[in-house]
Structure 1
Amino acid sequence: MQKDELRYAIRYELMQDLSKETLTFRNDQDMLALPMRQMGSFLLGTDVGGAGIHWNGQCPRFYPYDFEIRTQTIDQYGEDRIPDDMPLQDWGISYDDMEEYFAKFDETIGTSGEDNEMTAPRSTEFPTPPMKQTRSMNMFAEAAESLGLHPYISASANLSETYTNPDGKTINQCMYCSFCERFGCDYQAKSDPLITVIPTALETGNFEIRTHSNVREIAYDGNQTDGVYFTDTRTGEDYFQPADIVILTSYVMNNTRLLLQSGIGEPYDPENETGVIGKNYCYQVMASAQGFFDEQFNLYAGAGALGGQVDDYNADNFDHSDLDFLHGGTIQLTQTGIRPIATNPVPPGTPTWGKEFKEASAHYFYRTLSLGSQGASLPYRYNYLDLDPTYTDSHGDPLLRMTYNFTEQDRNLAAHQSARLTEILEEMGANEVVSNPDIGDYNIMPYQTTHNTGGVIMGADSETSAVNNYLQMWDCENLFVVGASAFPHNSGYNPTPTVGALSYRAAEGILSYLEDPRPLAE
């Protein structure tokens, strides 16, 4: 793949064609939802491998607190700490039950990293050592330690050394070329589906990839499914594919949309708080800060998950008794490698054009460090997904409609994390720090993160969840819905390893169902 910033990072060649299929968006029910006509807040992947091709490779595990968040929050702070409009719920499974699947995912992708007392407990060592530590990462670690925090090198799917996984697939050592997010890896050093699970599946002889095939409906008789209807996007011809089991793995948006279009499960109604399909759409609460330094850093080199982080303010690692929010978020410095089109940091007060801007841009290009916090996104009654009543895709099917806005919980969390980012950058020696503690309303236009979750959430109760802890539909026992759509909330971390772990859990359930068809959880 070419290292072409304009083609891939700016014009999004690996992403979904929004002229054919997109979604509509509004902040609340009183607004008219309009179609998203260009990529913005998140990037929807397409083609074989999907978003797994253009991801950065961040590999943290969710916390034990996440899987039992309602129970543990009530035990620690009382039920009154959960707002009335926050349908916070446990996942129907514990971290202890999930740990073996996290370990399996790590072994498959060869995760590089190091243990830390603030992260989730592990039964196994990381398959490969942590990534290299840069000057900026050293400064971050020293500053964090001086503030009494517990820094560590981030877990990464950009590998520190060549690794062969238990399936016999080799992932190469990272070259630190700076082209990870929004790009595929032509060094085969980023663990993505094209070099791990897809070739493993193809070798069995039981796996076939049909490209240019758009599934539009799941056949459903009110009890089970017997296949899917799809359209060949090259010819426009429609087909039916019979199936004993259907596994829906088409990302958060299409997982939810296909269930709604197929009439499977009860659509979520925020007014009456009934139904489950589309419920608990969550995202990520981002905070960031920039520090301007005298020292010049070698920021041209990097990798998608190269960085250091602290989790002292994540999950319930700190006391929330006197705080106005729940959960928290990771704080991270990453050196992904800066590129000229997207990177023009200048201090406040610098003109936006002309000689002074050019001089400041050139001066600070390698003298600016950014810290970010990925805050947990907790559910809100009126944040949900449903079908748009007006707009359709190129086939004439209704678009998915997203109703989403930040809440007071989100704004309070972001303000708290923003203050922590500023403290660390000042301790690192920045001459000037710029942050934005007020995140305001959610805006779908500027990029934030592709960490969309919810809509087909898991749990132990069929009245409040769509799938059980094997991701088997309560209302259609031979349909499994796999992905971050199962998350009842999003943690203060990247979601990918949790998606991977749940996928292995679902695969185990599917094999068991094939041997003895039945509901796998009661």
Structure 2
Amino acid sequence: MARTDPKKDVVIIGLGWTGSILGMEMAKEGLEVLALERGDDRDTVPDFQYPGVIDELKYAIRYGFMQKPRKSTLTIRHGVNDTALPYRHLGSFLPGDGVGGAGIHWNGQTWRTQPAELRLKSYVEENFGADIIPEDMQIQDWGVTYEELEPHYDRFEKLLGISGKAGNLNGEIQDGGNPFEGPRSSEYPNPPLANTYDSELFADAARKKGLHPFPRPAANASRAYTNEYGMQLGACNYCGFCERFGCLNYSKASPQTCVLGALKRMPNFRYKTNSEVLKIEKAADGKTAKGVTYFDEKSGEEVYQPADLVLVCAYSLHNVHLLLLSDIGQPYDPSTGEGVVGRNYCYQMTGGTSLYFKDKKFNPFIGTGSGGMSIDDYSISQIDFAKEGFIGGSYITAGHTGGRPIGQLSTPPGTPKWGQGWKEAAGEWYNHKMSIGSHGSNMSYRDCYLDLDPTYTDRHGRPLMRMTFNWKANDIKMTQFMKSKIEDVATSMNPDKMASGYKKDGSQYDTTVYQSTHNVGGAVMGTDPNTSVINRYLQSWDCHNVFVMGASAYPQNTQYNPTGPLGALAYWAVDALRNDYLKNPRPLM
């Protein structure tokens, strides 16, 4: 029988970006807050200290900061008639583990959605007509507008100390920024990072094509910075160890560097590590939650933690899994189109072109997670969907993140795979290669979804979650369009050798090759309980004291990295909790 602990006002599931923000803001309200984190405790000291943290083999190849499939995984299949198999080895995506979550090992790219993306279905119907939407595509509006989210984007960017250059300040286009972005109320808190040579070459070539390059918005501080919680960031030293690593220099924004140091000092906040929530417990009336049951790794026992408010702040896939296991919301059935939990799972469509120059030296070891230059000329709001035959868009970007010898040593086409020939090519081309990448949207479809696997269970005896996903023609058309645009710019730069990698007709989703840890959807937000799990305030339609944060709320994936809207939505939900729900707990819609 589970042990019962004293009741808390708030229990938070997961202590990454959203859990940290919600923890701080609820603690500031005077509530007793407990956060439960399934993984280990982590902090800059001792976990990210030099030289240990720049061990490429341990962290980039053996995934030292990632979840271990033997403890937590899911099954994956391409189609509804296939048999799903367990994701036993990390490949396509890399969920973070422990305090800080993926906020530890990310690169720091922090974008805002375009206004059109937040009302995508309406935008498409108004500008191109509903007939261009493929029959199996299930795009929908988010239920919140850019204008409503803008103050919360602004606050999140200032929390992280984002380095960048505004392109649209209160409706006025600014030189050097992104002219296609939504209006901002203020400039970025820090100036852009210094450019690397490859990003300068790309920007010059793009300008000659009539395009509009701008600095990529980066959660890597370009100067010393202090945020609203009194947390201090140091200027980035361009060490080249961002993705898959913790930051040794307090320069990359993370829950540790931006929130947790201040949050841990709050007397009414506590957190427990190695505590995996197994289920959200519903009250007898079925309309509210009464707490959670979690497994305490240290004691080896199950614990029932009663609470008045349950905030689900785990990784997007785990949010959906927990809702399915807790019977909160009707599971989605693709055969009928009914149900909502698991509906509209999406991924990210990416591609890229590598350029090799004998006469140019790029010094790739001088890198940052999110430095570089981008163009947004082929974003969702800039493309004629009817003419091009697809719905979606992509930003295009250049700028290296590092030059590590195992994972970032690239050789041109025709190089032997091993032996003396490979060694010679590796030495010849290491300092002479750059890339231009596409980071594109992924639409939602009727047969791409998440549910409980009928065969496989986890170590607690619970069904694993099953992912059904494959690439669709619409998104492949989009990435092929971006390929043509990138290769046009790349060819104008006159490289000695060039190689491209993009999905093409017939491409199947491959779980073995890393692509992106941008898994979204499955517990989407909206204004219609028949097509969404949570309302526009991220509140469960079924249990009004359950709020679900994170990218699981996205009805389809945007063309940008998901962290920016994830943080803005967290503060949007905080606003609803503080100013409305806590005063009178009830359904807000």
Q: Which TM-score band (shorter chain)?
A: over 0.9
How many residues get paired? 521
| Paired residue type of 1:466 | V
Q: 1:272: which partner in 2?
A: 336
Q: 2:322: which partner in 1?
A: 258
Distance in 2, Cα, partners of 1:324 & 1:386: 31
| Paired residue type of 1:110 | G
% of aligned pairs identical? 43
Residues 271-318 of structure 1: per-residue CA shift (max 9 Å, x gap):
100010001000100111111112121111101001110010111223
Distance in 1, Cα, partners of 2:473 & 2:117: 20
Q: 1:71: which partner in 2?
A: 122
Q: 2:278: which partner in 1?
A: 216
Contact 1:228 1:242 in 2 (8 A): yes
Q: 2:523: which partner in 1?
A: 456
Contact 1:118 1:150 in 2 (8 A): no
Of 131, 138, 158, the match for 1:87: 138
Of 305, 312, 319, the match for 2:370: 305
Contact 1:308 1:333 in 2 (8 A): yes
Matched, 1:144 2:206: yes
Q: CA deviation at 1:429?
A: 2.4
Contact 2:392 2:475 in 1 (8 A): no
The gaps in structure 1 that reach 5 residues or longer are none
Q: 1:244: which partner in 2?
A: 308
Contact 1:333 1:371 in 2 (8 A): yes
Residues 33-61 of structure 1: per-residue CA shift (max 9 Å, x gap):
11111110110111101111111000111
Q: CA deviation at 1:334?
A: 2.1
Q: Which stretch of structure 1 is more off in the superposition, 511-520 or 487-496? A: 511-520
Q: Which stretch of structure 1 is more off in the superposition, 218-227 or 314-323? A: 314-323
Q: CA deviation at 1:196?
A: 1.3
Q: 2:42: which partner in 1?
A: none
Task: Indicate the SS of the match to 2:373.
Answer: strand
Contact 1:329 1:376 in 2 (8 A): yes
Of 50, 62, 80, the match for 1:29: 80
Residues 95-149 of structure 1: per-residue CA shift (max 9 Å, x gap):
0011010001011111100122022221111000000012111101100001111
Task: Indicate the SS of the match to 1:226.
Answer: strand
Contact 2:391 2:475 in 1 (8 A): no
Q: 1:200: which partner in 2?
A: 262
Task: Indicate the SS of the match to 2:382.
Answer: coil
Distance in 2, Cα, partners of 1:447 & 1:197: 29
Distance in 1, Cα, partners of 2:123 & 2:363: 44
Q: CA deviation at 1:508?
A: 1.6
Matched, 1:40 2:91: yes
Distance in 1, Cα, partners of 2:67 & 2:383: 40
Q: CA deviation at 1:433?
A: 1.7
Contact 1:24 1:388 in 2 (8 A): yes
| Paired residue type of 2:277 | V
Contact 1:299 1:366 in 2 (8 A): yes
TM-score of the two chains, using structure 1 as the length reference = 0.98
Q: 1:424: which partner in 2?
A: 489
Please show how residues 59-458 of structure 1 align to structure 2 within 5 Å.
Answer: 59-115=110-166, 116-221=178-283, 222-294=286-358, 295-439=360-504, 440-458=507-525
Contact 1:156 1:305 in 2 (8 A): yes
Of 552, 569, 576, the match for 1:485: 552
| Paired residue type of 1:519 | P
Q: 2:532: which partner in 1?
A: 465
Distance in 2, Cα, partners of 1:138 & 1:339: 21
Matched, 1:507 2:574: yes
Q: CA deviation at 1:515?
A: 1.2
Matched, 1:7 2:84: no
Matched, 1:20 2:71: yes
Distance in 2, Cα, partners of 1:200 & 1:272: 48
Distance in 1, Cα, partners of 2:387 & 2:393: 14
| Paired residue type of 2:118 | F
Residues 215-246 of structure 1: per-residue CA shift (max 9 Å, x gap):
00000132100100001123320110010000
Task: Indicate the SS of the match to 2:264.
Answer: helix
Task: Indicate the SS of the match to 1:444.
Answer: coil
Q: 2:587: which partner in 1?
A: 519
Q: Which stretch of structure 1 is more off in the superposition, 202-211 or 172-181? A: 202-211
Distance in 2, Cα, partners of 1:14 & 1:301: 23
Q: CA deviation at 1:9?
A: 0.2
Contact 1:215 1:228 in 2 (8 A): yes
Distance in 1, Cα, partners of 2:460 & 2:586: 35
Q: Which stretch of structure 1 is more off in the superposition, 504-513 or 494-503? A: 504-513
Q: Which stretch of structure 1 is more off in the superposition, 420-429 or 24-33? A: 420-429
Q: CA deviation at 1:253?
A: 1.0
CA-based RMSD of the aligned residues comes to 1.1
TM-score of the two chains, using structure 2 as the length reference = 0.87
Task: Indicate the SS of the match to 1:289.
Answer: strand
Distance in 2, Cα, partners of 1:421 & 1:109: 31
Task: Indicate the SS of the match to 2:552.
Answer: helix
Contact 2:192 2:222 in 1 (8 A): yes
Q: CA deviation at 1:502?
A: 0.3
| Paired residue type of 1:260 | L
| Paired residue type of 2:508 | D
Residues 455-489 of structure 1: per-residue CA shift (max 9 Å, x gap):
10000111111111110001110000000000001
Q: Which stretch of structure 1 is more off in the superposition, 139-148 or 414-423? A: 414-423
Q: 2:5: which partner in 1?
A: none
Contact 1:149 1:310 in 2 (8 A): yes
| Paired residue type of 1:377 | N
Q: CA deviation at 1:432?
A: 2.1
Task: Indicate the SS of the match to 1:419.
Answer: helix
Task: Indicate the SS of the match to 1:242.
Answer: strand
Contact 1:389 1:398 in 2 (8 A): yes
Check 1:47–1:364 CA distance in 2 against 1; reply closer, same or farther (3 A cut).
same
| Paired residue type of 1:504 | Y
Contact 1:71 1:90 in 2 (8 A): yes
Task: Indicate the SS of the match to 1:29.
Answer: coil
